[in-house]
Homo-oligomer: A and B are copies of this chain.
Amino acid sequence: MRAERIPQIIAAAMTVFAWGGFAQARMEDIAQEAGLSKATLYLYFASKEAIIAAILQSYFERGFDELAALDTSAQPVTQRLISWTRRRAQELQDNAAFLSIGFEFHALAARHASTREVVQGYYVRYRSALAALLAQAMEWGELENANADELAVVLISLLEGLTVLWMLNPAGLDLSGVAERAVHTLLNHPPANSQPVE
C-alpha cells in the first residue's frame, strides 16, 4: 500500500506544484489529482511540507542514472560527454513541465539551509562524478591537462544556465545544439588552463 500510494501522491503533487507552485497548491488539489481524499494524504505524509521534502529528494536524482552510465561506456570520454549532454537536453525537454519545481527549489535553497544542503548535496555528487570522469580522461591523455573540478563546475553551470534561457523561450534556443557545441569547446579548451586576467 505505502509503496503504491507514496509515488502516486508524489506524482500528483508534482503535477499540481508544477502548475501553481508550492504555495498556491492546496492539499485538496493534490488529493484530487491523486484520486484520493485529503485526509488520506495525511496517512502517508505528515504535512504539505513533507510532500515537498519528498519531492526534493527525488527531484534531484534525475540524470544520475545516466551520469553513472558514463563511467561504464567504452567510448572516448569526449564522445561520452557530448552524447550525455544531448541526453540531458532531451530529458529536460521531456520534463519541461516540471522545470518550475526546480527553480522553486533553488529559491527555497537560497532561503533555507536545510533545503540548501540537499540541493547542494546533489550538485556535489554531480560535480564529483563529472570531475572524476574528466580527471580520468586527462590522465589517459584523452583530454588536455587542466583543473578537472573547475571544468566540471563550468559544464554544470553552463547546462543550468541554458535551462533557464530555454525555459524562457524554448522555440528560440536550440538547447541541444548550443549545449553540445559549448561542451565540445570547453572540453578541448578547458578554462583552467587559460591565464587568469588581472
Contacts and interface: CB of A to CB of B under 8 A. Distances in A.
B154 A182 contact: yes
Given A123-B168, A153-B178, A189 B192 contact: no
Contacts of A167: 106, 109-110
Contacts of A158: 154, 157-158, 161
A111 B21 contact: yes
A7 interface: no
A191 B181 contact: yes
A197 interface: yes
Interface of A: 18-24, 78-79, 82, 99-101, 103-104, 106-111, 116, 119-120, 123-124, 150, 153-154, 156-162, 164-165, 167-169, 173, 177-178, 180-182, 184-186, 188-197
Given A157-B158, A188-B189, A110 B103 contact: yes
Contact of A185 (B19, B160, B194): B194
Given A103-B106, A178-B150, A197-B180, A161 B156 contact: yes
Given A23-B23, A107-B103, A119 B168 contact: yes
Contacts of A178: 150, 153-154, 191
Contacts of A186: 182, 185-186, 191
A177 B190 contact: no
A35 B108 CA distance: 27
Contact of A111 (B20, B110, B124, B197): B20
Given A103-B107, A184-B197, A189-B185, A153 B165 contact: yes
Given A157-B162, A185-B193, 16 more contacts: A21-B23, A22-B23, A100-B108, A116-B168, A123-B168, A123-B169, A154-B178, A158-B158, A160-B165, A184-B194, A184-B195, A184-B196, A184-B197, A185-B185, A186-B186, A188-B189
A78 B197 CA distance: 10
